[in-house]
Amino acid sequence: MLRPVEWRIASMAAVVLFAVSCVQRAGSDAGFAAAQPREDAWRWDLPAGFPEPVVPADNPMSVAKVELGRRLFYDPRLSSTGEVSCATCHRQELAFTDGRARAEGATGELHSRSAMSLANVAYGASLTWADPGLSTLEEQALVPLLNEHPVEMGVAGNEERILAALREDAEYAASFRDVFPGDAAIDLRNVVRAIAAFERTMLSGDSPYDRLVFGGEMDALSRSAWSGMELFFSERLACSECHSGFTLSGPVRFVGAESVEPTFHNTGLYDLDGYGAYPAEDPGLVLRTGEARHMGAFRAPTLRNIALTGPYMHDGSVGTLDEALQHYAAGGRTIPAGPVAGDGSRNPLKSPKIRGFELDADERAALLEFLEALTDPGLVTDPALSDPRATLPSGPGRSTRAASE
């Protein structure tokens, strides 16, 4: 017989699945799938409980485009030094992060932020730590290529040299002709269109948690992880108020969904002056909006694969999951001395959702075990997402989840 918490989780799964199916049917009825499929049309094979991602009309998916994007994603020629690729900061074995506190660019310059995981990036209502204006992967892919402050991949000013190297590659020339008929130019526009298509296939939905909630495997979680899950979704901890939905990251966009706005949160990580100041190097959303109330506000990252994606927070200043729990339990971080000293729990701009809570040792261990149960082993081993130079050619794999019609 199921325990009460098991009935609640099973019921929650049923509601989620019903809601998603209704949204998908409504989207289809509204004309989202009205067009007749072409011979090369893309067909998603999504994880259970996942709706169809939004794809821009001017960049439709295809198997060939995804494969081209995969090659470009792993190609270090897309950098000023010829040594850095997209995959340098987004490593598959780390759920497409890099394990660094702060990302390092092609010239060795450190970024002020850590590299976010790309798992389920196809659904993001926003795509960086603190920029609500970036809403498509095509737009976002240009940022690391062209950014100069700091330099990331260093393409700016080196476009012609870098693109010329790609144009001299016979395989690339053939692939671009195949993927972009009538517009086969090997230029930055088509480069980012292909990379964005590949990134949309980085789907993560086969963790023990998924096997329980969407697969009905009642023994997918240990008893301790069960307890941790109950804590995670409880009103007492309220973790899911920010890390919500099937991506565990907040607002999402998908076919048939209502329009949503991205959300950003000040978690009390800093308070340098008693008035809410964050380090000038990266004060958060306020840089984009100019509104003082947005000081220290950042996007909530996905908690999927969180055991693999440390260090944590926008600047990588929290080293372990246990330290992250301590931060939230305290309702903010206190730094007793040094250039960023201050009591973040008293930050007047802190989100009211960061209230603090108490955990005993068993509860802390249970919550950590649940967070580890959000790891999807398939994401980090799928050959379809791996460096094509290191794997044998193959058709779409688990996370590509597609095929030609």
Return the pLDDT at 399.
Answer: 39
Q: For residue 392, is pLDDT > 50?
A: no
In-domain check, residue 220: no
DSSP 307: G
Provide the number of structural domains found in the chain. 1
In-domain check, residue 32: no
In-domain check, residue 83: yes
Please give the model's pTM, rounded to 2 decimal places: 0.89
In-domain check, residue 96: yes
Three-point CA angle 97, 101, 107, nearest 5° = 85
pLDDT digits (tens, 9 = 90+) for 361-390: 999 999 999 999 999 999 999 999 999 998
* For range 346-362, the mean pLDDT: 97
* For range 315-326, the mean pLDDT: 98
Q: At what angle do helices 170-179 and 159-167 cross, to 10 degrees?
A: 90
In terms of pLDDT, which residue wins out, 32 or 111? 111
Return the pLDDT at 8.
Answer: 53
The pLDDT-based confidence of 16 (bands split at 50, 70, 90) is very low
Residue 337 burial by CB count (10 A; 0-12/13-18/19+): exposed, middle or buried? exposed
In-domain check, residue 296: no
Return the pLDDT at 45.
Answer: 87
Q: What is the pLDDT of the chain when averaged over all its residues?
A: 89
DSSP codes joined into one string, 78-126: SSSSSS--HHHHSBGGGTSB-S-SS-B-TTSPBPSSPPPP-TTGGGBSS
In-domain check, residue 282: no
pLDDT digits (tens, 9 = 90+) for 124-135: 999 999 999 998
Per-residue burial over 274-301, b = 16 or more CB atoms within 10 Å of its CB, e = otherwise: eebbbbeebbbbbebeeeeebbbbbbbb
In-domain check, residue 173: yes
Which residues span the domain enclosing 93? 63-203+378-404
What CATH number is associated with residue 137?
Answer: 1.10.760.10
In-domain check, residue 124: yes
pLDDT digits (tens, 9 = 90+) for 82-137: 999 999 999 999 999 999 999 999 999 999 999 999 999 999 999 999 999 998 99
Q: For residue 223, is pLDDT > 60?
A: yes
